[in-house]
Chains A and B, each alone.
Chain A
Amino acid sequence: MNISVNLLVGFAMGLNLIALGSNRLPSLIRAMSVQGVLLGIIPLLMEKELDWRVALVALATAIGKGVVIPGLLRRAMRAASIEREVDPFIGFVPSLLLGAAGTVAAVALAQGLPLLPEHAGSLLVPGALASVLTGFILLVGRSKAISQVCGYLILENGIYLFGLLLIKTTPLLVEAGVLLDVTVGVFVIGIIVDHIQRAFDSLDTRKLTALRE
């Protein structure tokens, strides 16, 4: 059980790096959505006997993160007719190197943390830390609103991974709440994107500084 979970988390960590290194928005969205689906499956593998509520939430997560949100983002992307992240604040190679260093640091750090013995060998904590870091790098380093939404979602994936540590004690309701938050957030951002697009003919969030007064 633990091995397959670790494998999935390992894949998710790889997807983080792909997300950091891709300059085309479709591949960024794809990396994010595949990561969402992978993480959605994890609760199914963690439980010995399958609770239907767990299965339901897992399914909702997978569909929400893997289909609905990416679909919305793709539509926003088409509406704004942008395909690429040009001229990011943090270049692709530096962000990739940062992400890789962060991943290594996360693994090293997790070994030093006083975790429960059942989580000691698992990649959950490093995976969570790495995803949060990736999200931050994307949020800070990208200029297009859609990339930032992706960064936000990857960050959320990291928080979700942290939540999985507590899956036995906390009901998945928490996660459902988080998911709801995010969905609302994405909707809001979708609307903002639309408005930025109309107002500035571009999705460059740098233009928003013009609104600071």
Chain B
Amino acid sequence: MAGGYTVNDLIRLLLHVAWWLLLAPLLPGIINRVKSWVAGRRGPPILQLYFDLARLWKKSVVMSTLASPAFIAGPAVAWVAVVGAAMLVPLGPAGALLHFRGDVLLMLYLLALARFATAWAAMETGSAFEGMGAAREVSYAILAEAAMVAAMLSLSIETGTVSLTTMLAPSAGAGAVLLAAGLFTVLLAENCRVPFDDPNTHLELTMIHEVMVLDHSGPPLAVILHGASVKLLLFSVLLVQAVLPMGELSPTAAPGVLLVGVFTVAVGVGLVESFLARFSFRRVPLLLTTAFLLCIFAVLVAWKGGAA
């Protein structure tokens, strides 16, 4: 690392930052478009989130009388954690900004840090609703975490490596279908989409993630929304690269494939939200357990595939 930064490195840095920070708010736009298209509505512009972010960034803030400065620090730390996690995820042949053995665990734990910071900020307000959201978020995350680790284990076994860059390069092999289904379910759960959570609801009792940010406003809310979109992009990129052999594509084809893949995932999320209703909370653990089992079976298939 020491010395010798070239123009190439600078370009790579800019490319990564642009991909993660600028592209991310597009995904919720695509999802909403798909939903409105299915429902036969015109729907919001695809760039709606960009407008929202710009507007929120200029607004003043209302803060609960009970909240400490950590109420503002929470979103900031969560955003740094999510973006930090994103920097560890490779982008096809462009690779990750930072990679070393075991970086996959750092990625998972950075996402956990974001969860901690968000839940902490939510509890600052002393609101019963936000307590409820935080409790649900941290509880369901236990199962989601198990599923994610199992998914990463299957990739590790498949490729024999423990770094994201090499783990995601080939395709997931025989267990790809299982892994894709498992990861997609985790994506829905971790990004508070239907059937786990309803990002559009206005009934606090039924929400998980959305209810935690009820009291946020202005720039902190903008940071939260942007972080959420980066997280969604991160999971989509992970899913696409886990399934497709990104490392074997030519450097020119790979970005296109990645873009198309991420777009497909977003459309898939939109379709799921159009055709499924939110599950009752008693069903959420069942669905997450299913995702976990899918990933476990992917582990076993990877193990057997390697042995044969």
Query: Is there any pair of Cβ atoms, one from A and one from B, under 8 angstroms apart in the complex?
Result: yes
CB of A96 within 8 A of CB of B286, answer yes
Tell me if A93 is interfacial: C-beta within 8 Å of chain B.
yes
CB of A96 within 8 A of CB of B283, answer no
> In the complex, how many residue pairs between chain A and chain B have their CB atoms under 8 Å apart?
22
Output the least CB separation between B182 and chain A (Å).
Answer: 12
Chain B 255-308 residues near chain A, CB threshold 8 A: 283, 285-286, 289-290, 293, 296-297, 300
Tell me if A73 is interfacial: C-beta within 8 Å of chain B.
no
B296's contact among A21, A93, A100, by CB below 8 Å, is which? A100
Q: How large is the interface on A (under 10, 10 to 19, 20 to 34, 35 or more residues)?
A: 10 to 19
Output the least CB separation between B144 and chain A (Å).
Answer: 14
Output the least CB separation between B295 and chain A (Å).
Answer: 11
CB of A21 within 8 A of CB of B300, answer no
B289's contact among A23, A96, A107, by CB below 8 Å, is which? A96
Contact with B along A94-112 (1 / 0, CB 8 A): 0011001000100100000
What count of chain B residues pass the 8 Å CB interface test?
A: 9
CB of A93 within 8 A of CB of B285, answer yes
Instruction: Please measure, in the bound complex, the distance between the C-alpha atom of A118 and the C-alpha atom of B293, giving whole angstroms.
Output: 30
CB neighbours of A104 from chain B (8 A):
296, 300
Tell me if A92 is interfacial: C-beta within 8 Å of chain B.
yes
CB neighbours of A17 from chain B (8 A):
290, 293
Chain B 224-241 residues near chain A, CB threshold 8 A: none
CB of B286 within 8 A of CB of A92, answer yes
Output the least CB separation between A23 and chain B (Å).
Answer: 7
Please classify the interface of chain A as helix (H, G, I), strand (E, B), loop, or mixed, using the class held by over half of its residues.
helix
Instruction: Please measure, in the bound complex, the distance between the C-alpha atom of A100 and the C-alpha atom of B283, giving whole angstroms.
Output: 18
Output the least CB separation between A5 and chain B (Å).
Answer: 16
CB of A93 within 8 A of CB of B286, answer yes
Instruction: Please measure, in the bound complex, the distance between the C-alpha atom of A161 and the C-alpha atom of B245, giving whole angstroms.
Output: 36
Instruction: Please measure, in the bound complex, the distance between the C-alpha atom of A97 and the C-alpha atom of B285, giving whole angstroms.
Output: 12
Residue among B285, B290, B293, B296 having the largest count of chain A Cβ atoms under 10 Å: B293
Sorted nearest first, the 9 A-B pairs with minimum C-beta distance are A100-B293, A93-B289, A92-B286, A93-B285, A93-B286, A96-B289, A21-B286, A21-B290, A104-B300
Known: A100-B293, A100-B296, A100-B297. 19 other contacts (CB 8 A): A17-B290, A17-B293, A21-B286, A21-B289, A21-B290, A23-B283, A92-B286, A93-B285, A93-B286, A93-B289, A96-B286, A96-B289, A96-B290, A96-B293, A97-B289, A97-B293, A104-B296, A104-B300, A107-B300
CB neighbours of B285 from chain A (8 A):
93
Residue pairs across A and B with Cβ atoms less than 8 A apart, 22 shown, are: A17-B290, A17-B293, A21-B286, A21-B289, A21-B290, A23-B283, A92-B286, A93-B285, A93-B286, A93-B289, A96-B286, A96-B289, A96-B290, A96-B293, A97-B289, A97-B293, A100-B293, A100-B296, A100-B297, A104-B296, A104-B300, A107-B300
Output the least CB separation between A14 and chain B (Å).
Answer: 9
CB neighbours of A21 from chain B (8 A):
286, 289-290
CB neighbours of A100 from chain B (8 A):
293, 296-297
Instruction: Please measure, in the bound complex, the distance between the C-alpha atom of A190 and the C-alpha atom of B297, giving whole angstroms.
Output: 37
CB neighbours of B290 from chain A (8 A):
17, 21, 96
CB neighbours of B286 from chain A (8 A):
21, 92-93, 96
Nearest-CB residue, chain A, relative to B287? A21
Contact with B along A27-54 (1 / 0, CB 8 A): 0000000000000000000000000000
Output the least CB separation between B193 and chain A (Å).
Answer: 20
Nearest-CB residue, chain A, relative to B283? A23
Chain A 63-82 residues near chain B, CB threshold 8 A: none
CB neighbours of B293 from chain A (8 A):
17, 96-97, 100
CB neighbours of A93 from chain B (8 A):
285-286, 289
Instruction: Please measure, in the bound complex, the distance between the C-alpha atom of A127 and the C-alpha atom of B297, giving whole angstroms.
Output: 14
Instruction: Please measure, in the bound complex, the distance between the C-alpha atom of A102 and the C-alpha atom of B283, giving whole angstroms.
Output: 22
CB neighbours of B297 from chain A (8 A):
100
Instruction: Please measure, in the bound complex, the distance between the C-alpha atom of A144 and the C-alpha atom of B304, giving whole angstroms.
Output: 38
Instruction: Please measure, in the bound complex, the distance between the C-alpha atom of A132 and the C-alpha atom of B135, giving whole angstroms.
Output: 39
CB neighbours of B300 from chain A (8 A):
104, 107
Instruction: Please measure, in the bound complex, the distance between the C-alpha atom of A129 and the C-alpha atom of B166, giving whole angstroms.
Output: 38
